[in-house]
Amino acid sequence: GTGGESAMAEILNPEQVLRQLRDFGPLRRILLATPGTLQGTLSAYFGAPVTVQVRDQGDAQDHKHFVREVDLVCEPLRITACSARSRIDVEDEEIRTLIRDRCIGLGQIIEVLRVPTTFELDAVGSRDDCFWREYTLEGAGFRYHIREEFPAELYPGG
């Protein structure tokens, strides 16, 4: 694009996503269908900054495979808006360096580097205490498989 808009991932199958989300309320559909990083959306929802905090990150010996666990945290409200666990396969050295630095979220890395990316919603579901999604973000030199869980009490309306 031109100007300052963020580089959103392209949703591979929009009709399938809508079918997967038909049993969720409007707010949850927005969160579950957002292709890539949710920081901006969650910050707008809570009216305060939401940041990524890396809880744990494991790095394979070849430095091309990672497992990362993060919380998206709204510190002013003292809440964890979302927790995520990611399996990451990376060939691109620039992306690997940013992942190892643990300073920014996976979705932000794609936006900063402006890498064309596809988004595929693999699965969604809910329990009494949370609702969740699993999705794949893929582009040249990387593939992320991410599971995000959202505390149900923070997002009313089913």
Residue 20 phi/psi, 5° resolution? -65, -30
Q: Give the mean pLDDT of 49-74.
A: 91
pTM: 0.88
R_g (Cα) of the chain, nearest Å: 15
One-letter identity of residue 59: D
Q: Which residue from 92, 148, 100 is spatially nearest to 117, judged by alpha carbons?
A: 92
Residue 1: pLDDT band with limits 50, 70, 90: very low
pLDDT for position 71: 96
Alpha-carbon distance 118 to 12, whole Å? 6
pLDDT for position 106: 86
Alpha-carbon distance 32 to 38, whole Å? 9
Calculate the CA dihedral of residues 106, 130, 136, 144 and round it to 10 degrees.
30
Q: Give the mean pLDDT of 36-65.
A: 90
Alpha-carbon distance 65 to 73, whole Å? 25
